[in-house]
A and B are shown apart, each in its own frame.
Chain A
């Protein structure tokens, strides 16, 4: 299919990696094959923690058929201490495993059994005997509020706490006051591809095929863990089977594979099993969120206080910021936000899709709904009434805010006609309710570089260490290059996911497309200037030109590219520097979501009937893949509202819900027809492309819209998430 070369960015072009993915040819980390074969590593988890290993017997495992080696803290190659150096940050610090006889948390690896086949490794792993002398641990922040600390920093925000205005006075003088607390459950990102790494050593060089979102920081993590030069680490990750935050950094299997490959002298694959993931992958902590809201008689917000308490894994500094959306959603005379953490002896707590907003809009937007109801103001009107003219906490101007456009468009498209008395709308034996909520997510730009090379045959190769985790990166980068250089998309080849390519910030925080895209845009613009110069030198002066099939078309002339750039071709490097953009401005993506649910009047079963979102994310780079990402986010939001919860046994600090039979994500039939509307836009202050982040926006607001609809359906306010039928059962209206 030949695209028009004039306007390609934004077009709903099919995914360029689609054919590879539908035929099974796309190579994910676990698919990688190595000449000479790959040995298989199987993790032996600590059966209890925290504590000390007092017995570890691997003799039977070592004697089992096919076993190549058993790694334990006694035999593992040298590593740098876990967490060092301290100032490096969590993704790049040492992720040492099998460090010593200490076990930090339940499920931490105490051994890795390497065998010729997976069956042999798994069986031999069952023969390892380990005994832990346990100590008192902290597993649930709510049981240890006295240990709550202000963290050094929270994810994505400049300030841990904010205190704007006089909260106590404004709250006490408010006509309508709401004081509520919510529990949001722990969650696991549950990408379909479990964490997997294939590692091998070529002399001093470590070559790794792994499932990862950010290649460059994983290189640093290996170097810092193994005490080797970054130049001696090569990571290859052309396809990653979903990340959602869980693959931002490296996890235990990644380090184990590298150590085992060293020990065994051959390539080793360590694939976390789905059950491993719940202890050896990261998770979103459960949170206690307390909200105090006050409004005047007309529904104007006067006082907002949002505080959050959660667990932080000991020695792994990450604190989620659920009060992030609260700082920027509405104007109020006083807004105070606080984040507190308790260090706990649990698996890593880390970012999961839309950290902060996913669970922060869930609570804040349901509390706002409740306050609007108290004030007797329609929830749509309430939000319009409290629209700020500048960022409410920082006081900065908004880079671009069209939330009201989203709200009004959404209300019209959904057919919002105000609220009905809760519990009063029936369809058969189903209670039907509607609700809405706002979506907001900070938009950021990260440093990125790119290189492009044009060959004499007219083909362009673009290279970045950026990843495509399902987001559509290959496709939008192809579009950016093709449009900038006025050439057919079919002649652009984008290569990603290799640490030898120019560094980007990878995929995360919804900054991937804007950051890597802006760097590529710069590289292509430079290539274009260089080509223009060559044209001028050859006597063709043209303001504009196009390229096709190895020829340049300018001023009605056709010039062979080979004559202009020779056999060696033409290259250019590009970059983007965030310091040059959105200085001192509050930059967010926005949206609104409207939901309709039905609740079975007898059983309390909740089904989503409709979900409609309207979003503003600046310039859309590909209408097809953007819509898919937004829909995927909305479905993630259904999970957060109604399904997903990782339940911990607080006696032992162990997750009990360790597979898809226990940890429920939305399945096909849980999802109704979804409506996604995207406002046309161009956010000139955000970055050179004018685009904003889109990958996490769809989750924000989806959950609270559903919860607010459940309230209208039943009259019940459930202040814990996910909302389950048993939370409604004994409170359903008598109908």
Chain B
């Protein structure tokens, strides 16, 4: 067992863990936060997406012990003081979910995506005019988050409605 200290959704955790434990299993099993989901455990579906030090990652592919001192945000940490994050509200309003299993990952991914675009980080579809919040940019950047129910179009719409938001 190895000691690990990290901050999840604003709370500092000091734990002893199996070095084989992934960040996803740490959050779900050790800390009991069940929002992030395990859809494939291979980094292929995105249901486990968390925001670590401001960047989204597939938490199932990352060993927890590599996150000493890191700051992690899960879907539970998107809302503040009981108030939904604008993306969460937009996902409800645009029906950007069906079964909801991929939703925690979609939301974390979307929140980080808004920041990436604001910072001007390019993607494979970014043209010469530069990064902009186009449907094609959103689609490309959300393609690491699978949704078998097929809520993709509503997810794009939900992200567009809040893309100007500063939160």
Contact = CB atoms under 8 A, between A and B. Distances in A.
Do A and B originate from a single complex? yes
Interface of A: 14-15, 17-28, 30-31, 33, 117-120, 123, 189-194, 239-242, 244, 271, 273-274, 469-472, 624-625, 627-629, 631-636, 659-661, 665-671, 673-674
Contact of B32 (A15, A19, A33, A470): A33
Interface in B31-50: 32-42, 44-45, 47
A57 to B, nearest CB: 23
B93 A14 contact: yes
A123 B20 contact: yes
Interface string B116-131: 0000000000000000
A22 B84 CA distance: 9
A417 B151 CA distance: 30
6 contacts: A24-B75, A25-B35, A118-B25, A191-B99, A191-B148, A668-B145
Contact of B42 (A27, A274, A632, A665): A274
Contacts of B140: 668-669
B67 interface: no
Given A19-B92, A192-B146, A193-B37, 14 more contacts: A14-B93, A14-B95, A18-B97, A22-B89, A23-B75, A24-B35, A189-B148, A192-B101, A273-B41, A274-B39, A470-B149, A472-B98, A671-B139, A673-B153
A464 to B, nearest CB: 18
B8 interface: no
A24 B150 contact: no
B147 A24 contact: no
Given A24-B33, A24-B76, A26-B100, A19 B84 contact: yes
B156 A24 contact: no
B146 A660 contact: yes
A669 B76 CA distance: 27
Contacts of B40: 194, 274, 659-660
Contacts of A271: 38
Contacts of B20: 119, 123
A33 B32 CA distance: 9
A448 to B, nearest CB: 21
Most A-side CB within 10 Å, residue of B29, B99, B156: B99
Most B-side CB within 10 Å, residue of A191, A469, A668: A668
A23 B79 contact: yes
A660 B42 contact: yes
B74 A242 contact: no
Nearest to A123: B20
A15 B103 CA distance: 14
B143 A669 contact: yes
B87 to A, nearest CB: 8
A241 B99 contact: yes
A631 B153 contact: yes
Contacts of A666: 150, 152
A672 to B, nearest CB: 9
B16 interface: no
B147 A192 contact: yes
A403 B153 CA distance: 26
Nearest to A66: B18
Contacts of B154: 628, 631
Contacts of B145: 668
B91 A22 contact: yes
A17 to B, nearest CB: 7
Nearest to A244: B148
Contact of B34 (A27, A193, A244, A670): A27
Contact of A674 (B45, B89, B153): B153
Contact of A469 (B35, B79, B99, B138): B99
Given A240-B99, A625-B95, A636-B150, A192 B47 contact: yes
Contacts of B102: 192
Contacts of A27: 34
B32 to A, nearest CB: 7
B84 A23 contact: yes
A633 B88 contact: no
A193 B99 contact: yes
A634 B139 contact: no
B97 A22 contact: yes
Given A274-B42, A671-B153, A624 B95 contact: yes
Contacts of A628: 95, 98, 149, 151, 154
A671 B153 CA distance: 8
A191 B20 CA distance: 27
A191 B148 CA distance: 6
Contacts of B89: 22
Contacts of B37: 28, 192-193, 241
